[in-house]
């Protein structure tokens, strides 16, 4: 039996792997596409490329103030800007584990494997809370 023999893997392993494959591919392609759109000016930048050397050494708070860049999740409303569009690919890649866990939950539910199902729910709650900033410690 080799690594490519699907008979040696459990249903949740195959589901997790498939979602991991496709979500990381989507995130990677999104990064490439948004980078190309930024570099070639297809999407206009909020901060022109030639001004970046003047601000990229600033502390984060000062950078945000000087450039008028958004804080937190406000970038979602600015995906039309070339320098913020790449955040979408980063968000997809950051969320890959959530997609994968969501994909295996029906397998656990079908098996009535309640402990794993509850662990999946708790893990998603923790990951989403962390991504939202609820458990960052900064208020």
Q: What's the pLDDT tens digit per position in 25-74?
A: 999 999 999 999 988 989 998 888 788 888 989 998 898 898 888 888 88
Q: Where are the domains of the chain?
A: 10-132
Q: Is the pLDDT of residue 135 over 80?
A: no
With beta carbons less than 8 A apart as the criterion, state whether 33 and 40 touch: no
- Written as one string, the DSSP assignment of 96-137 is HHHHHHHHHHHHHHHHT-HHHHHHHHHHHHHHHHHHHTTTSS
Question: C-alpha distances in angstroms, 68 versus 47, 62, 71, 78?
Answer: 9, 10, 9, 12
């Amino acid at each position: 039996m080799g690594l490519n023999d699907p008979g040696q893997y459990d249903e949740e392993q195959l589901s997790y792997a498939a979602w991991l494959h496709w979500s990381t591919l989507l995130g990677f392609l999104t990064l490439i596409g948004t980078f190309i759109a930024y570099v070639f000016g297809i999407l206009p930048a909020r901060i022109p490329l030639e001004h970046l050397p003047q601000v990229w050494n600033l502390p984060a708070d000062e950078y945000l103030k000087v450039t008028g860049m958004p804080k937190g999740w406000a970038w979602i409303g600015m995906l039309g800007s070339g320098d913020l569009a790449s955040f979408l690919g980063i968000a997809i890649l950051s969320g890959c584990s959530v997609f994968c866990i969501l994909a295996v939950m029906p397998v656990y539910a079908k098996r009535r494997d309640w402990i794993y199902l509850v662990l999946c729910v708790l893990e998603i709650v923790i990951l989403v809370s962390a991504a939202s900033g609820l458990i960052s410690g900064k208020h």
